[in-house]
Homo-oligomer: A and B are copies of this chain.
Amino acid sequence: MGEAMPSPFPLPEPMRRALELARAAGEAGEVPIGAVVTLDGRTIGEGENRNRRDNDPTAHAEMVAIRAAAAHLGDFRLAGCDLWVTLEPCAMCAGAISHARIARLYYAAADPKGGAIEQGPRFFTQPQCLHRPEVYGGLAQAEASTLLRDFFLARR
């Protein structure tokens, strides 16, 4: 398999930063996923996957970023905030995004194996989902997929 084609368009800064966080997670032996929370274009929370480092099954990049942003704002709701993440969120993270009242979700690669946005649970379409963000998928998916593919190939 060759290198995936990088996007010909400049990436929004938060997604560029999320990819950088994903790379850092991979270098630390974690699944390479990164996330950023922004409010009015300003970063208020960042996260890398930290499951192994923190002995925490809930420490996905999105969760870490959401918790950091909420601590920063001193509010358990992130009204008006955007979340940028390098992989389609799982059910856990989709639930947290909804609980946090995230306004817009931007994600890079789709995740047929574990995603819960455009696969399986399609959580935001369920009546038990009490808040739905706007969703934009596919941004920088080539870069994000390459990171993940190379990580799992190297571990075989």
Contacts and interface: CB of A to CB of B under 8 A. Distances in A.
A7 interface: no
Contacts of A71: 55-56
Contacts of A56: 67, 70-71, 76
Main secondary structure of the interface of A (DSSP, over half): loop
Interface residues on A, range: 35 or more
Nearest to A58: B96
Contact of A123 (B91, B115, B127): B91
Contact of A58 (B99, B113, B123, B128): B99
Contacts of A55: 70-71, 73-76
A6 interface: no
Given A92-B99, A114-B128, 15 more contacts: A51-B76, A55-B71, A55-B75, A57-B70, A57-B96, A57-B99, A58-B67, A91-B91, A91-B92, A91-B94, A112-B128, A120-B128, A120-B129, A121-B123, A121-B126
